[in-house]
Structure 1
Amino acid sequence: MAFIHTVLERPAYGWTNTDGSLVKPTPVQIFKQFLSRLNVINNRRNWLPLMSWLMVLTLAPFFILFLVKYFSLKLLLITFIYSMVVMGTHGTIWYHRYCTHRAFKFSNNFWRFITQNLTLKIIPEEIYVISHHVHHALSDQPGDPYNAQGGFLYCFLADANHQPINRNLSEGDFNRCVKLMQHTGVKANTYAQYKKWGTVANPFYAITGVVLSWIFWGTVFYLLGGFALVCALFGAAGFWAVGVRTFNYEGHGKGKDMRRDGVDHNRDDMSINQLWPGIVAGEWHNNHHLYPKSARSGFKLHQVDTAWYYIKFMHFVGAVSCYHDSKKQFMKTYYTKALPVKLCPKTGLALKEA
């Protein structure tokens, strides 16, 4: 089978039925699969999804402390901005447009490192990047790791159930995974280490990176606002980490066709443009599926794109060497066709623009 169909670890309930349709597991099957994928006692190669969810659980007490002990309207506003705008925009810039789609290039590794670590580290790059390539190749089809037609839990727990890479890849296919990740700066395992750990990412470097990120940002937040700010912003990061796991379910119409004429121009899948994710994180999802390699997805006047503003600014100061922008192509192909045509009052023919 093609690489894209085998690169992810197949869940116990499978991707497809015998007739080729999507397997829609029950909640019990999904939770059973989830718990098995977090079990490092039975299989140490489950370390990456376990680490991903341990980070979320570790951040939960900070959120609770913020609510019960340090709550204030000022901190609530800061928490809102950090979780929705800062974390959301960074996710779009780093994981989505750079790590997965290479929509722009950094001038050097220093600026890549700065951008990578602009926020508290929450999501392992490997969990996101490789599975997201599959998502675009098989969008809303069986094998899509967060196919919205599978239901909310199918998407919400996808990072453990559907997104880890296959633990039995050939050396050639493993090297293809490494190549998909090499521009991100993630320290890769050798093939022998992969056979032991089941991941591209080396566990020592991955865990060390998370610990250092949390120590650094915890210190910064404490110096700026004491333990109250630490609780508020660590809690905000945890809130975002939970919320982002719901995005693809909603961003693909909750398994239904919710595309709108004149709004969602891509008709190859069920992705839709949503106002809230677009404004706070620059994630105009239907536009993105239309032009996945574009560093900008907010093409229309009202489509605020905070991720694009960052990329454009970094290019202005020389930190980004080049980028791909599909706005002109979008406007020419989709937007101008939607504009009313001016007709000549005498002949009734369309008037040509000067």
Structure 2
Amino acid sequence: MPFIDNVLQEPSYGWRTPSGDLVIPTNRQLFREAFTRMNVFADRKNWVPAASWLMILCLLPFAIIAFGRYFSLPLLGIGILYGMVIMSTHATIWFHRYCTHKAYTFSHPIWRFITQNLVVKTFPEEIYVVSHHVHHAKSDQPGDPYNARGGLFYCLLSDVNHQPIAKNLSEADYGRVAGFLGHTGIQANSYRSYLRWGSVGSPLYTFGLWAANWAFWYTIFFLIGGHPLACTMFTGALFWYVVVRTFNYTGHGKGEEQHVDGVDFDRRNLSINQWRPGLFAGEWHNNHHLYPSSARAGFLPFQLDLAWLYIYGLSKVGMVSSYRDNKADFVKKYVTATNDQPAVDQPAVTQHS
């Protein structure tokens, strides 16, 4: 099998039917698969998907306290702002453009570490990065880990059911998978440890960083606004962590073609440019599929890109040493082009350093 077909752990219901179509499991099948995948007592290699949902459980008490004891409209607004804008933008900056697509490079590891921990930490890098490479290779096709054609719960439960890496990779293939994360600074398992834990990330590193990150940010928020602000911000992180699971469902037209002429230029997949993810997080998704390695995705005048502003700002003060920007190529091909539907070919890359 090609490497990209073998890199993720296939669910029990499979990716495709014998005829090659997408398997669309029932909600019962999806939840049964999820509970099986999170059962660390049956197999310690389930620790990554279990940790993903453990973080939700650990964030819940903050939400209960925030709403039950400290609720106010100003704090509600702050929590929504933190979750919908700051957490969302950070995910685009860190998980999407840096960890997965290497759209820019840091001049020193300290700037990478600071960027990694700019917000309350939620899920491990590997649960996003490896599966996102597969998503781009198989967008809206069988094997796409968050295929919108599979339905809302297919996407909501994808971090457990479809995104974990395969547990039986050869040493060479594991090396390639670990290479997807080599630039991120995470502590990767040796092949021997991978066979024991079924993951790229070391459990000790993953949980240690998680605890340190939470302790740091709770302390900072507490010093600024006491327990009310701290609980509110952690509630905002929970809100984002739950809502973000719907993104690839809506961002790919809920499994249907919803492209808009003059806005969505990449018709090779179902991705669309949406206002809220675009303005709040720089996630102009159709643009991103057109130029996945670009540090900027907001190409049209109305497409604000907060993630790009952060990356560009760091480059101006020397914290980012280089980045790729495809805006000029986009404008040339899709704004000034005389033909109505220019062919989608391999985009040119503008490298800045």
Short-chain TM bin: over 0.9
Instruction: Tell me the equivalent position of 2:100.
Output: 100
CA distance in 2, matches of 1:172, 1:127: 20
Secondary structure of 2:181's aligned partner: helix
Instruction: Tell me the equivalent position of 1:345.
Output: none
What is the CA distance between 1:285 and its match in structure 2? 0.2
Instruction: Tell me the equivalent position of 2:274.
Output: 274
Q: Is 1:135 matched with 2:135?
A: yes
CA distance in 1, matches of 2:338, 2:281: 26
What is the CA distance between 1:241 and its match in structure 2? 0.3
CA distance in 2, matches of 1:57, 1:244: 16
1:159-211: CA deviation from partner (whole Å, max 9, x where unpaired):
00000000000000000011110000010001010000000001111110100
Q: Is 1:62 matched with 2:62?
A: yes
Aligned pairs for 1:117-266 within 5 A: 117-266=117-266
Larger Rg: 1
Counterpart amino acid of residue 137 in structure 2 = A
CA distance in 1, matches of 2:28, 2:191: 35
Instruction: Tell me the equivalent position of 2:34.
Output: 34
Counterpart amino acid of residue 201 in structure 2 = A
1:184-239: CA deviation from partner (whole Å, max 9, x where unpaired):
00100010100000000011111101000001101111111111111100000000
CA distance in 1, matches of 2:207, 2:173: 25
Secondary structure of 1:258's aligned partner: coil
Counterpart amino acid of residue 40 in structure 2 = V
CA distance in 1, matches of 2:27, 2:74: 39
1:249-276: CA deviation from partner (whole Å, max 9, x where unpaired):
0000001111111110001100000000
CA distance in 2, matches of 1:57, 1:287: 35
CA distance in 2, matches of 1:83, 1:56: 14
Counterpart amino acid of residue 45 in structure 2 = R
Percent identity over the alignment is: 56
CA distance in 2, matches of 1:153, 1:35: 14
1:57-100: CA deviation from partner (whole Å, max 9, x where unpaired):
11122112212221112111211111011100000000000000
The number of residue pairs the alignment matches comes to 340
Deviates more, 1:143-152 or 1:54-63: 54-63
Instruction: Tell me the equivalent position of 1:331.
Output: 331
Deviates more, 1:69-78 or 1:247-256: 69-78
CA distance in 2, matches of 1:215, 1:148: 36
Counterpart amino acid of residue 298 in structure 2 = G
What is the CA distance between 1:339 and its match in structure 2? 9.7
Instruction: Tell me the equivalent position of 1:9.
Output: 9
**RMSD (Å) for aligned C-alpha atoms:** 1.0
Counterpart amino acid of residue 46 in structure 2 = N
Secondary structure of 2:322's aligned partner: strand
CA distance in 2, matches of 1:298, 1:164: 30
- Contact 1:262–1:338 (Cα < 8 Å) also in 2: no
- Contact 1:90–1:119 (Cα < 8 Å) also in 2: yes
CA distance in 1, matches of 2:77, 2:21: 45
Instruction: Tell me the equivalent position of 1:50.
Output: 50
CA distance in 1, matches of 2:129, 2:27: 26
CA distance in 1, matches of 2:158, 2:141: 15
CA distance in 2, matches of 1:271, 1:72: 37
Q: Is 1:320 matched with 2:328?
A: no
CA distance in 1, matches of 2:139, 2:339: 30
CA distance in 1, matches of 2:316, 2:42: 51
CA distance in 2, matches of 1:338, 1:306: 30
TM-score (norm 2): 0.95
Counterpart amino acid of residue 163 in structure 2 = Q
Counterpart amino acid of residue 225 in structure 1 = G
What is the CA distance between 1:121 and its match in structure 2? 0.7
CA distance in 1, matches of 2:129, 2:103: 13
CA distance in 2, matches of 1:306, 1:197: 37
Q: Is 1:87 matched with 2:87?
A: yes
1:266-299: CA deviation from partner (whole Å, max 9, x where unpaired):
0110000000000000000000000000000000
- Per the alignment, do residues 338 and 123 of structure 1 end up closer, same or farther by CA in structure 2, a change over 3 Å counting? farther
